[in-house]
Amino acid sequence: METIKTDKAPAAIGPYVQAVKTGNLLFCSGQIPLKADGSLVTGEVKDEAKQVMENLKEVLAAAGTSFEKAVKCTIYLVNIADFAAVNEVYGSYFTGEHKPARVTVAVAALPKGAKVEIDCVAEV
C-alpha cells in the first residue's frame, strides 16, 4: 500500500490520509469544502461542491489518475434538497462517456459544518 498526499488539497483533519493506493485502486478519503490552506468554503452548496470536487481532482492527480478513471463515488448531503445543485456541479467533472457508479446519502451532519462531502475510488 502507498499513502497519497498533496499540498494542493487540504490535509486530513483526523487520523486518516488523503488517499491510499493499493494494487491498481486508489481509495480517496471523503473531502469537505476546505481549501488547501484549511479554510472552509461557505455560502451556496454549489460553491462547497465545487471545492470538494477540486480537492478530489488534486488528490487523484497526485496519484497519477483522474475522474476519467473513477470507479465509484459517494456523496453525503446534510440536506437532500441540495441533491440537484450538487449533482449539477458533480456532473460537470464527468463530461466524457465514462461515469462512475455512485451513491448519495443524506446525513445528520458533516465535519466543520459542511453541507457536502464526497469520496471516490478510482483506478490508477
pLDDT single digits (tens) 54-96: 999 999 999 999 999 999 999 999 999 999 999 999 999 998 8
CATH number, domain of 52, equals 3.30.1330.40
Residue with cell 472552509: 40
How many domains does one find in the chain?
1
d(C-alpha 39, C-alpha 47), whole Å: 13
28-to-25, 43, 55, 79 alpha-carbon distances in Å? 10, 25, 10, 23
For 9-53, what is each residue's pLDDT tens digit? 999 999 999 999 999 999 999 999 999 999 999 999 999 999 999
Grid cell in block for residue 66: 483522474
- The domain in which residue 46 lies consists of 2-123
Q: Report the pLDDT averaged over residues 104-110.
A: 98
d(C-alpha 11, C-alpha 103), whole Å: 25
